[in-house]
Amino acid sequence: MMFPMDLSIVVTGLVCGVVFGFALERAGFASACKLTAQLRFQDWAVFNVMFTAIVVCAIGLYLFKILGLLSMEDVYVPTTYLWATLLGGVGVGAGMSIGGYCPGTSVVGFMSGKVDGFVFFLGIIAGTWVFAGVYDWLEPMLEALPRPDAETLPELFGVPEWVILIALTAVAAIGGWITTKPKPAN
């Protein structure tokens, strides 16, 4: 995306953000308890919603591609840096487990009137500022590990895209079925 952006792009992004935020709030994701319950393996709603979103997006991209509505050259796939992914996953995961929010749900929580959502979001800003300050020092380490030559899962595993879509859909369906089964009464 090049700047300056066309106003329609900004408006589209804002509208999509508001709709997504509304959906998250209605699903109860404005509460820090929802995410921490997921991390304690007590409430699988976050897993089910996010995995469903991944599958819908993957199928949508695939359909757009085969219908000729989207060229995959127009889709940005960032380079995978294993140390950076590991460090980022640990940092963001620790923050989410301590604070109970992810970046998006912290905004939803704050906009729903929750002070902890606002405090968490301030922590995101502070953490981003600190990371930017030490990035030049960390960059050689973050890019040190060799990365896979593949940019996508089908390239990595050497299989057609539809195989990955079927596997993702199966994992989502089985995961959803397992996590929504009623628990036996004690």
Per-residue DSSP letters for 68-94?
A: TS--GGGS--PPP-HHHHHHHHHHHHH
| pLDDT at residue 184, rounded to an integer | 66
Least confident interval from 35-49, 111-125, 153-167 = 35-49
Calculate the average pLDDT of the chain.
87
As a whole number of angstroms, the distance between CA 62 and CA 111 comes to 34
| pLDDT at residue 2, rounded to an integer | 56
Longest dimension (CA), the chain: 61
Structure-block tokens of residue 41? 């393996």
Structure-block tokens of residue 172? 């989502």
| pLDDT at residue 127, rounded to an integer | 92
Q: Other CB atoms closer than 10 Å to residue 9's CB: what's the count?
A: 11
**Which amino acid appears at position 46 of this protein?**
V
Nearest partner of 86 among 166, 144, 137, judged by Cα = 144
Query: Domain limits of the chain?
Result: 7-180
Please, which pLDDT band fits residue 15 given cuts at 50, 70 and 90?
Answer: very high
What backbone torsions phi and psi does residue 136 show, to the nearest 5 degrees? -60, -35
Rg (CA), the chain: 19
Prediction pTM value: 0.72
Please, which pLDDT band fits residue 85 given cuts at 50, 70 and 90?
Answer: confident
Nearest partner of 172 among 24, 42, 29, 54, judged by Cα = 54
* DSSP H or E segment with residue 56: helix 45-66
Nearest partner of 167 among 10, 46, 59, 90, judged by Cα = 59
Over 80: is that where the pLDDT of 183 sits? no
- The percent of residues in the chain predicted with pLDDT above 70, rounded, is 93
Please, which pLDDT band fits residue 5 given cuts at 50, 70 and 90?
Answer: low
Residue whose entry in the numeric block shows the structure tokens 């020092």: 137
